[in-house]
Structure 1
């Protein structure tokens, strides 16, 4: 296998890896957006629960109702904190994938530049060879004409 062909093979593999990383980033982005939506829903539910409790005469409750309210609110706060952690993990995973994708994209571009330069060099070398051959033929034709 010629060196140029092996570079093309490596570029193809890196390109495949880049596309796979982009697909994984898309999946990760969807999870991150779902986590954000879930967090927003929990926060809105908590806010609504607080408004309803205080609006429904939060001051006119017995001790048991107040204890139930606090327990439920504590569990809701825990769920919100857990969802915030999940969202932070999703964001970090997305950022990690994005960095890997950017690295692969850079590698692919660098390989493509190298391939392009080698192709240009090979074409120039071939053109010089063809020109040399034409010059030699012209020289032979001139010599043959001069001899006759």
Structure 2
């Protein structure tokens, strides 16, 4: 990856998160792994990304504890990249990005993929920030409390 200033010491959780997963290829790799694509070659073919870029992003995600490698589930000599618990906890982030894209980046009637609940066969409900009582929140209803 290109050298850039690390945000590991930032007090902002968004800055630290972006430092780990905030580039295009990392997010697309995570999308693919959530979709069940685990092998280097399969990820590369699906994304059309250069091998050196993919290798660097996968290494970064493994070092960050988001992905781990394991022997291929079919017994071949390949290895697979799978989500750790930390990586699985990014699911709401990926869903939120998908839902935002559905709302704002497609024309009415334009075809796109959908995330479907296996149990019901229906698309997921829209995610939104809410109070502890379940009431929807807007940016105007919140404030960031910065450390002193």
Fold shared per TM-score above 0.5? no
Structure index of larger Rg: 1
- Bigger RCO (CA 8 Å, 6+ sep): 1
Q: Structure 1-normalised TM-score?
A: 0.22
Give 1 or 2: higher strand fraction. 2
Give 1 or 2: higher helix fraction. 1
